[in-house]
Amino acid sequence: MAIARRKRAIRRDWTRDEVKELKKHSKDKTRVKTISRALKRTLAAVRQKAQRLGISLGHRRTKKK
């Protein structure tokens, strides 16, 4: 019986264009899920990069009355 091996993650460096697009999405308050699809990166990768750049992500939630 063969043991299933996990697929190794292939890390890609962030390009200047990707960082620029991430900052634009931050200003537009785009949802993180939408950003990750646009950049073809995981949610965690997008959040981590934004944190390192010191920018906020996602829309602002308002309290429901």
Tell me what pLDDT residue 7 has: 80
Q: CA nearest 44: which of 20, 5, 52?
A: 52
Tell me what pLDDT residue 65 has: 63
Segments of the chain with pLDDT less than 70: 1, 59-65
Q: CA 39 to CA 23: how far, in whole Å? A: 12
- Mean pLDDT of the residues in the chain: 88
